[in-house]
Structure 1
Amino acid sequence: MNIVIVDDDCLVAGALKTILEASEEIKVAATGSDGSEAISLYREHRPDVLLMDIRMKQLSGLDAAAAILSEFPDAKILLLTTFSDDEYIVKALKIGAKGYILKQDYASIIPSLKSVCTGQTVFGNEISSKIPGLLQTSSEFDYGEQDISDRELEIIRLIADGLSNKEIAGKLFLSEGTVRNYLSSILDKLQLRDRTQVAVFYYQHL
């Protein structure tokens, strides 16, 4: 797994590089210190995952992530910060970041990178508990009007709970291929890009 790290604290970036490269599965292709550099480094290296700080002196990680995702919709970006700020969480979800975890939770960084690399969405426990309340609106949404079946809605709920395709397949006694087919249908019907947006959409329309 090739990773690019961007953090405006060089000591933190160096420490993260040391921690990650201690794992034989991870190679740090480059490090940077600003959102603008993150965009350039992503274009150059096309990493499996971009691990990026949010609060940086010039271009923020959120703004850099939005720019990268507009150019590379399949980019996998894991945001790392010391702040569980509600506004940051909502923006990270809406722009399509694959995860948002706190720096102080060092033990979760490598597992989170692996999960994001396989297409899962990752949020630390402290952050996950906030998401429903942050994104909930009072409006009712009729999934039937979008031709979403009961089974598809069940899958949407499980995706919003953070389950992978394999976990959903096991829970619903389906094959992973069938789950992928359902997900493709859901994305098409709701005009969404990926499973992260499915989770956001669900919470927004509770």
Structure 2
Amino acid sequence: MIRILLADDETMIRAGVRAILAADPDLEVVAEAGDGRQAIELALAHRPDVALVDIRMPRLDGLAATAEIRRVAPDTAVIVLTTFSEDEYIAGALAGGASGFLLKAGDPRELLAGVHAVAAGAAYLSPRVAHRVISQLSGDRLARAAVARDRAAALSPRERQVLALVGEGLSNAEIASRLHVVEGTVKAYVSAILTRLQVRNRVQAAIVAHEAGLTGTS
């Protein structure tokens, strides 16, 4: 069972999201917050697997709440679920450690897929958001690629192999199956990769993998 914290200041939005999640028997909403500070408190109290966090909330906005939840409850993956798709919000969410970014106007199936993906240790961006991220990366591509290759070169061959699979969007369990190792070993590799690349989450690591040409899709 994937345990979920739902944080949004609009009661009707929370009810709608909760109804979508209830359609999946493997998902359970264990707590609901109406503002950013309450979201942090409930993340500490319940230690959910996934927190769905809106951006614009009272007392503390969702971007600040995301960063704090990731700091105080690092085992809780955060998906920012919002109406707003401006570049600065996407960048702020990913910089704060979010593993996913979904739009409220998106297909409900994206929400279910995103929750399962981040709970499994992968990252998930709605297609519209992924397109914006890729578009941003297209500028100054050669310079970015050179920097990314230098950063990836500092990793061991095995770490680069794991990074490439992260870049392909595989979860820890899927990487473990592909490499014929236990999932705990993959978690250790991913943690080391994030530290050595000086990135905060799998999305940022995946970007490095793409820019460095490790995925074969750059």
Pair in the same fold by TM > 0.5:
yes
2:163 paired residue number: 156
- TM-score, normalised relative to structure 2: 0.78
| Residues 1:83 and 1:115: Cα distance change in structure 2 (over 3 Å) | same
Give the whole-Å Cα distance in 2 for the aligned partners of 1:92 and 1:200.
15
Of 75, 84, 108, 2:110 maps to 108
- TM-score, normalised relative to structure 1: 0.82
Of 164, 174, 180, 2:179 maps to 174
Is the CA contact 1:93–1:200 (under 8 Å) kept in the aligned structure 2? Answer: no
2:93 paired residue number: 92
Give the whole-Å Cα distance in 2 for the aligned partners of 1:24 and 1:169.
26
Residue 14 of structure 2 aligns with an amino acid whose one-letter code is A
Structure 2 unmatched ranges of 5 or more: 214-218
| Residues 1:156 and 1:132: Cα distance change in structure 2 (over 3 Å) | farther
CA offsets 1:149-184 (integer angstroms, 9 cap, x no match): 5664354244234233455577xx632549827545
Is the CA contact 2:98–2:201 (under 8 Å) kept in the aligned structure 1? Answer: no
Percent identity, aligned pairs only?
36
CA offsets 1:21-73 (integer angstroms, 9 cap, x no match): 23221221121111111011111111111111112233111110111112222
Is the CA contact 1:90–1:134 (under 8 Å) kept in the aligned structure 2? Answer: no
CA offsets 1:68-110 (integer angstroms, 9 cap, x no match): 1122223211110111111111111112111001111222111
C-alpha RMSD of matched pairs (Å): 2.9
Give the whole-Å Cα distance in 2 for the aligned partners of 1:70 and 1:191.
15
Residue 169 of structure 2 aligns with an amino acid whose one-letter code is G
